[in-house]
Amino acid sequence: MLRQAAVRVGTFVALPAAAGARIVSQVYFDLTRLIERLHRRYLDVIRAEIAHLGIEDINAVQSLILANISGDEITVRDLIKRGYYLGSNASYNIKKLVESGYLEQERSPHDRRSVRIRLSKKGLGLCERIQALQDRHAAALINGPGTTADLEKAVTALKRIERRWSDYIEFGPTDL
């Protein structure tokens, strides 16, 4: 049906506006599902790596928390504000990471309610291993059929979606 309504314009095929909107809507739907699957699959990759390393006192989500803290010294509020975690999940996981020796925490001397966290030596060591894993996967992607430009385009598109969703949350529905 769409083929019958399509009109060839030079080397491109122009679809009627309604048909084009349906196709874009389907692509958007597929992309949102892919983002969710990729996140779960990435956690599986990290889970497999920490199992391969023989590490049993941390899970994949906690490993990602460490990677997102990296070399910074931040507050739990800042970690949540970065948009990675919900408050209750972050607090629970940070407590477990401190108990397992991956994080160190210290009350702020200026505001006793605020707690600053940073990676311990153990946490830094795991982050280095996770970074090595990421480097290996990035190299495999670049040495495969794709290019750096392909990855950069994907990142740009995903950042546009993130910005759109953030604006929706912050300002509500807007007509574009």
Question: Would you say residue 166 lies in a domain?
Answer: no
Domain containing residue 41:
16-144
Contact 127, 72 (CB under 8 A): no
Residue 53: which residues within 8 A CB-CB, separation 6 or more? 129
Question: Would you say residue 61 lies in a domain?
Answer: yes
Report the domain count for the chain: 1
Question: Would you say residue 22 lies in a domain?
Answer: yes
pLDDT of residue 87: 62
Question: Would you say residue 66 lies in a domain?
Answer: yes
When pLDDT is cut at 50, 70 and 90, the band that residue 109 belongs to is: confident
Please enumerate, as own/partner, the contacts of 141-147 that have beta carbons within 8 Å and a separation of 24 or more: none
| Tens digit of each residue's pLDDT (9 = 90 or more) over 147-170 | 888 889 999 999 999 999 989 988
Residue-averaged pLDDT of the chain: 84
pLDDT of residue 10: 45
More confident residue, 15 or 79: 79
Residues 47-54 have a mean pLDDT of 96
User: What CATH number did the domain enclosing 71 receive?
Assistant: 1.10.10.10
| Tens digit of each residue's pLDDT (9 = 90 or more) over 17-35 | 566 677 788 888 999 999 9
Question: Would you say residue 109 lies in a domain?
Answer: yes
Contact 90, 80 (CB under 8 A): yes
Amino acid at position 51, single letter: A
Question: Would you say residue 161 lies in a domain?
Answer: no
User: DSSP 3-state assignment of 9?
Assistant: strand
**Model's pTM, two decimal places?**
0.76
pLDDT of residue 119: 96
Question: Would you say residue 175 lies in a domain?
Answer: no
pLDDT of residue 11: 45
More confident residue, 125 or 18: 125
DSSP state, 14? E
Question: Would you say residue 165 lies in a domain?
Answer: no
More confident residue, 59 or 143: 59
DSSP string, 67-107: HHHTT--EEHHHHHHTTS--HHHHHHHHHHHHHTTSEEEEE
